[in-house]
Homo-oligomer: A and B are copies of this chain.
Amino acid sequence: MDTALKQQFGSDNYAGICPEVMQAMNDANQGHAASYGDDVYTQKACDSLRSLFGTDCEVFFVFNGTAANALALSGLCQGHNSIICQQQAHIDVDECGAPEFFTHGAKMLSAIGEGGKLTPADVTRLANVDADNFHSHKPKVLSLTQSTECGTVYSIEELKALTATARELGLHTHMDGARFANAVVSLGCEPADITWRAGIDVLCFGGTKNGLGIGEAVIFFNRSLAEEFAWRVKRAGQMCSKMRMLASQWSGVLEGEVWRKNASHANDMATRLAKGLAAFDGVTLNYPVQVNAVFVNLPDKTKTDMHDKGWHFYDFPGAGSRLMCAWDTLPETVDAFLEDLKGCLPQP
C-alpha cells in the first residue's frame, strides 16, 4: 500500500478535488468572464445554495475555513465583545488568532461541554456577566461547530435549545460548518433544519473537506448582519478576482447532490472503521461516531508501531487518537488499517 494512502487518516483535507468539482472548474474555464463575482457561474452557485437552503440568504465565497469563520464573526461583534464556544473549537485553538485578528480582539469564552457539545447551561453560565461590567468583554456571539471537533452532531432539538438561550441572552449565532455536509447526512435532515430553521444567523459552509480544492461559503440567513460584508471580504484579502473559479467548485458539489454523496461516503468509512476498532479487545472509542471522525484510545506502543508501519494520525489531548475519513477513503484502506492494527495491539 502506498505511503500517501496510509497518511490519509491524518486529516480529511489530505484528499484531493473530487471529479465533479474538477469538471465544473473546467466547464467554467471557458473564455472570458467579468471578475469579482459579476459572472454567470457565481450567480448560479449562489442560486443553488439559496435553493438548497430554501431561503433567500446572502452568500459570499471565500478562500478557506479560517477566513470564513473569522470574517463571519467580525460581522457579528466588535473587539470588546466575547464569543462563546466549545473548548476544542477551531476558532479558539487552531486558527492562530484569526478570529481575534478579524474581530479586532474579541475574546473566546469556552466550556468543555459534553461529547464536544455545548449545553444551554454552559452558554448561560459563560454569558453571565453584569450588564454594565465594562471590565470584561461583553458576550455577543454563540458559535457552534456542526459537526463538532469530536465527531459528534448536535440534534435539531439541541440546536434549537441553544439558539433559544442565545436569543434570550442577546447573542448572535454562528455555525462553524467545516463538516456541515457530514452533519446533515448524519442527521438525515435538510440543511435548513439545522441552520435558519434552528435559529442560526450565519453558517460557514465548508467546501474543502467535502471535495473542493479551495473554497468555503459564508451564508447569512439573518441578512441584516450581512450589511457591508462585501467590504469586509475585500479588505481581508478574501475577494477572489477570478470568482468563477471558486464558485464553479461549489456548483460541482451542489449539482446532483454530490455534497451528500461525498459526505455519506466519508461517514460510512468512519463507521466501518469504528466497528472494526470496537471489535478489538481493550480498544475503546471516546465519542459516538456520528460523522467522519473516530477518536480511539490506543496503547502507546501500538501507536508507535502503527506509525512505524506508515500509518499517520494525530493524538488530541484528552480525546485519544483521531482517525479521519474523506470523500475518497477506500474501504480497502480502512480494512488494511484494521489488519495492521490487529498485529500491533498487545496480545491478551
| A254 at the binding interface (Cβ < 8 Å) | no
Tell me the minimal C-beta distance from A65 to chain B in angstroms.
8
| A14 at the binding interface (Cβ < 8 Å) | yes
Residues of chain B contacted by A5 (CB below 8 angstroms): 31-32
Query: Contact size class for A?
Result: 35 or more
| A285 at the binding interface (Cβ < 8 Å) | no
| A95 at the binding interface (Cβ < 8 Å) | yes
Residue among A17, A208, A236 with the highest chain B CB neighbour number at 10 A: A236
Residue among A13, A71, A208, A245 with the highest chain B CB neighbour number at 10 A: A13
Beyond A241-B13, A242-B16, is A231–B22 a contact (Cβ under 8 Å)?
no
| A132 at the binding interface (Cβ < 8 Å) | yes
| A29 at the binding interface (Cβ < 8 Å) | yes
| A263 at the binding interface (Cβ < 8 Å) | no
Interface stretch of the complex, out of A134-142, A143-151, A160-168, A337-345? A134-142
- Determine if A4 and B29 form an interchain contact, defined as CB atoms under 8 angstroms apart: no
**Once the chains are docked, how many angstroms separate the CA of A104 from the CA of B132?**
24
| A79 at the binding interface (Cβ < 8 Å) | yes
- Determine if A64 and B237 form an interchain contact, defined as CB atoms under 8 angstroms apart: yes
- Determine if B237 and A137 form an interchain contact, defined as CB atoms under 8 angstroms apart: no
Residues of chain B contacted by A33 (CB below 8 angstroms): 4, 7, 14, 16
**Residue in B213, B230, B234 whose CB lies within 8 Å of A95:** B234
| A111 at the binding interface (Cβ < 8 Å) | no
Beyond A67-B237, A245-B214, is A17–B4 a contact (Cβ under 8 Å)?
no
- Determine if B16 and A136 form an interchain contact, defined as CB atoms under 8 angstroms apart: no
Residue among A11, A30, A64, A237 with the highest chain B CB neighbour number at 10 A: A237
| A118 at the binding interface (Cβ < 8 Å) | no
**Residue in B29, B100, B134, B239 whose CB lies within 8 Å of A239:** B134
How many copies of this kind of chain does the complex include?
A: 4
Residues of chain B contacted by A232 (CB below 8 angstroms): 78, 80
Task: Identify the closest chain B residue to A11 (Cβ).
Answer: B35
- Determine if A245 and B8 form an interchain contact, defined as CB atoms under 8 angstroms apart: no
- Determine if B97 and A242 form an interchain contact, defined as CB atoms under 8 angstroms apart: no
- Determine if B241 and A208 form an interchain contact, defined as CB atoms under 8 angstroms apart: yes
| A89 at the binding interface (Cβ < 8 Å) | no
User: Per-position contact with B for A25-45: 1 when CB-CB < 8 Å, else 0?
Assistant: 110111111110000000000
**Residue in B30, B105, B138 whose CB lies within 8 Å of A101:** B105
Residues of chain B contacted by A30 (CB below 8 angstroms): 16
Residues in A312-329 with C-beta less than 8 Å from chain B: 312, 326, 328
Task: Identify the closest chain B residue to A70 (Cβ).
Answer: B237
- Determine if A98 and B242 form an interchain contact, defined as CB atoms under 8 angstroms apart: no
| A233 at the binding interface (Cβ < 8 Å) | yes
User: Can you offer 26 A-B residue contacts whose CB atoms are under 8 A?
Assistant: A4-B31, A7-B34, A8-B32, A14-B34, A15-B32, A22-B25, A63-B63, A63-B64, A64-B240, A66-B234, A66-B235, A67-B237, A70-B237, A71-B237, A78-B232, A79-B100, A93-B135, A96-B234, A96-B235, A97-B107, A98-B235, A100-B100, A134-B233, A134-B239, A138-B231, A208-B242
Given contacts A66-B234, A68-B237, A95-B235, 9 further A-B contacts (CB under 8 A): A7-B32, A7-B33, A14-B35, A15-B32, A16-B31, A16-B242, A81-B231, A96-B134, A101-B105
